[in-house]
Chains A and B, each alone.
Chain A
Amino acid sequence: MAVRDYIRERFMPHIWCAGCGHGIVMNNLIRAIEVLGLKKNDIVMVSGIGCSARISGYLDFHTLHTLHGRALAFATGVKLGRPDLHIIVPMGDGDATAIGGNHFIHAARRNIDITAVIMNNHIYGMTGGQYSPLSVYGRMATTAPFGNIDQAFDIVGLAQSAGASFVARTTSYHATSMIKIFQKAITHKGFSVVEVLSQCPTYYGRKNRLGDAVEMMEFFKKNTTPLGSAAKEKNPDLIERGIFVQEDRPEYCAEYKKIIKKAMGEQ
C-alpha cells in the first residue's frame, strides 16, 4: 500500500506548521506499519492533546483522540478489551511527561503491550510555546521569559526505571533508523517507548534562535550519536540514540489471562 492509503484525505490539510517534525514521524510510522504488513482494522491509535496528538485523526485506523495526558489510560482500557489489537499512542512531551506523567510510569510498570511514541520537541506547541518538563535548562519559552530553571526529564531513563521493556530514542533527522525502531517497538510484546527528538521551529526554534527546521534537524544530526559509540566517550554531551532496552518480560494482558484461569478454577 502507498502512504496515502493510510491517510484520511477527507481530513487534510493537516494543522501542522511547515517544517514541523510531527509530519516526519507520522510518515515514518506509516512506513513501519506498511513494512510490517499490519491490517488497518487491527490498529488502534489513541492520542491525547497537542500538535502531535492530531496524528491519530489523520490516519485511517481506529482512532481515539482523548484528553490531555490521559491517552495511555484510555489505551489501557482498549488494550484490555481487545488484547489482539495493536495499540499505538503518539504523544507530545507535555502530554506524556507533565499532565500524563503518572499514567506514563504506570503503563510502563504494568508492561502492557502498547507502543508510546513520544515526540519530544521540548515545548508546548499547540498553546503557543510554553516550557515543558522536557525543555532544556536555560532555554526560553513564553512562560520562561528569563530562561527555564526547570530540569528536564530524561525520557529513556524514566521509561527504563518505570519498567518499560522496550525503550529507544531516535530523531526526526534519522528517518531510516526511526522506521526500523518503530517496527521493533510495535512488534515488541510489552510496553514500548520510542522517544523521537523532533523540531518545533515555530516556537522552540524561534524563541531560542535555533534557526529553521532544516537547521534544527542538522542539530539532531550533529549532537546525537549511536548508542555505545566511541564519539560519546570523547564528547559526553552527545545524546545517544538507538535501542536502550529490549527485554522479554511478563506482559500485562497475558498475565491477566492467567488470572482469569485461576479465578475460574477456584469457582
Chain B
Amino acid sequence: MNKKTLFLQGNEVCVEAALYAGLDFFAGYPITPSTEIVEHLASRLPQKGGCFIQMEDEIASMCAIIGASLTGMKAMTATSGPGFSLMQEAIGYAVMAEIPCVIVNVQRGGPSTGMPTSVSQGDVMQARWGTHGDHAIITLTASNHQDVFAMTVEAFNLAETYRTPVILLLDEVVGHMREKLLMPEPAEIPLIERLHTSVKEGTDYHPYLPREDGRLPMSDFGGVHRYNVTGLVHDMWGFPTNNPKIAHGLMRHIVDKIENRVSEITRVKEYFLDDAEGILLSYGSSARSALHVVKNRRKSGERLGLLELQTLWPFPAELVRERCAHAKYVLVVELNMGQILQEVKKAVDDPSKVFLANKVDGTFITPTDIRNVIRLILGKGV
C-alpha cells in the first residue's frame, strides 16, 4: 500500500492525529510554542464539522473541553508553560468528575514566562502533581513525528477507556521540528470509544458506580439520564457527600483505576537492551540524541542500549527496574534538573548506578553532550 507521506511540523502532526482519533471539540488560547495546534485546528476542525473555539484564557479552555466532553464529544486543548499552570485547577476537576479529555502541553523553558521559544522538559512533575490533592494521571510523550501521531491517538484512547484527562507532553523541539510522517490509513490504528450505559430510560442510572473492571459507562448530557456532576467528593449518583467511607472509596477508585493498570498503560521503545552494559533512559526530543549516541557507539562495539519512555505517568517502575537490572550504569537523559531521574532512582535496585545527562539552558542536548557524560561515568575524562 502506498501511504501518503507528509512533511510536517510536530504540532501539525498532533492536529492530524487528533482528527484521526475523532476529535470533535477544541478550545484553546494561543501560546508559544503550541500556537500552531490552535491555528491549524481553527481551519481543520470546522472542515469536518467539529467545533473550534478560542477562549478568553487557558482556564476557560480547559473548562470548556470538560463541558463539551459531557455532551459526548472527544475534546482536547493545547497549551504551553504558563497556560499549563492555569489549567491545573480544571484538570483536577476532570480527574475528580472522571471526564475524558486530552491536554497537550508543548513544553518550553520555565518557570514563569521563562524562555517561550526554547526547549525544555521541565513540566514532567507538573503533569504528575500540578493539580492539588492525591490523584493519578496518565501522561504520554513522543520523540518523533510517527510517534507523535501514535501517542496523540493513544491519548484519546486512554482518556476514553479510563474516563480521565490524559496529558500529552511534547516539547518545543518536537513541536516545531519538521520531518516526515507516513500518514496511517483510516482504521490502521484502532480507536477506542467511550462506554455508554445500557441502562434504559426510567431505570436508576448510577453515573459513578464503577463496574467490576473499574470502568464507568457514561450517559451524555441531553440524553435520557439526568444526573449530577461535581468536583466535590460524591456518591454513586454524583451527589456531594462527606461520608468518610464513600470518600475513601472514591479516592481509591480514581487512583487505582490507573495505578493498578500500569502495565496496560505503559508504552516504551527498547533499543539494544538485551546485552546492554550501559542504558540510556530518555523520552521526548532528548531521546533522539540518546538514540543517535547508542546507534553510533554500537558501531564501535560499545554495548549501549536505549529505553525510551512514552508513558511517563503512571511511571513504569517495574519495567524500568527489570530492564535496568543488569546494566552497569543507567544514564537518564532529559531537559530538566532530573525529574525522571528521581523516579528511575526509586525504581532500580541500585540507585548509585543512575546518572543524569541534562541541559536546562534552553538549548537542545546533543549526542556529544551525552557522550561526554558517558566518558565521565566510565572514568575516561572529557
Which residues of A are at the interface with B, using a C-beta cutoff of 8 A? 8, 10-11, 40-42, 44, 46, 56-57, 60-67, 70, 73-82, 84-85, 102-103, 106, 256, 259-260, 262-264, 266-267
Contact = CB atoms under 8 A, between A and B. Distances in A.
B59 A73 contact: yes
11 contacts: A41-B223, A57-B240, A64-B230, A73-B59, A73-B60, A73-B67, A74-B64, A75-B67, A81-B24, A81-B71, A263-B46
Nearest to A256: B51
B63 A66 contact: yes
Given A76-B67, A78-B67, A66 B93 contact: yes
Nearest to B65: A77
Contact of A77 (B43, B75, B93, B226): B75
B222 A42 contact: yes
Contacts of B59: 70, 73
Given A41-B226, A67-B89, A267-B47, A78 B63 contact: no
B60 A103 contact: yes
A264 B49 contact: yes
B56 A102 contact: yes
B208 interface: no
A80 B221 CA distance: 12
B71 A106 contact: no
**Interface majority SS on B: helix, strand, loop or mixed?**
mixed
Contact of B56 (A44, A103, A262, A264): A103
A102 B57 CA distance: 9
A11 B240 CA distance: 9
Contacts of A67: 63, 89-90, 93, 231
Nearest to A84: B222
Interface string B214-249: 000000011110111111100001011000000000
A77 B67 contact: yes
A120 B90 CA distance: 25
Which residue, of B24, B59, B226, has the highest number of chain A Cβ atoms within 10 A?
Answer: B226
Contacts of B320: none
Contacts of A8: 228, 239
A237 to B, nearest CB: 35
A262 B42 CA distance: 12
- 3 tightest Cβ-Cβ pairs between the two chains A and B: A77-B67, A81-B71, A73-B63
Given A10-B237, A64-B70, A70 B90 contact: yes
Nearest to B63: A73
Contact of A81 (B25, B47, B49, B231): B25
A41 B64 contact: no
A264 B227 CA distance: 36
Contacts of B66: 66, 74, 77
Given A65-B230, A73-B55, A79-B67, 8 more contacts: A65-B228, A66-B231, A70-B60, A74-B63, A74-B64, A81-B25, A81-B70, A259-B46
A51 to B, nearest CB: 13
A266 B46 CA distance: 11
Q: Which of A66, A81, A106, A260 has the most CB of B within 10 A?
A: A81
A85 B90 contact: no
Contact of A64 (B61, B229, B237): B229
B25 A80 contact: yes
A263 B60 CA distance: 25
For B51, B65, B75, B93, which residue has the most chain A Cβ atoms within 10 angstroms? B51
Question: Which of B27, B53, B222 has the most C-beta atoms of chain A within 10 angstroms of its own C-beta?
Answer: B222
A259 B44 CA distance: 12
Nearest to A106: B56
B68 A80 contact: yes
Nearest to A54: B240
A169 B72 CA distance: 35
B92 to A, nearest CB: 9
A28 to B, nearest CB: 21
A119 to B, nearest CB: 19
A262 B49 CA distance: 10
A73 to B, nearest CB: 4
Contact of B46 (A61, A84, A264): A264
B73 interface: yes
Contacts of A106: 55-56, 60
Contacts of A46: 67
Interface in B272-297: none
B222 A85 contact: yes
A10 B239 contact: yes
Contacts of A78: 67-68, 70-71, 221
Contacts of B230: 57, 64-66
A149 B112 CA distance: 33
Interface string B16-29: 00000000110100
Contacts of B72: 81
A103 B64 CA distance: 11
Interface in B65-98: 65-73, 75, 89-90, 93
A222 to B, nearest CB: 38
A62 B61 CA distance: 21
A41 B222 contact: yes
A152 to B, nearest CB: 23
B210 to A, nearest CB: 20
A76 B221 contact: no
Interface string B33-59: 000000000010011010101011101
Nearest to A112: B53
B90 to A, nearest CB: 6
A74 B73 CA distance: 14
B226 A60 contact: yes
Contacts of A267: 47
A219 to B, nearest CB: 32
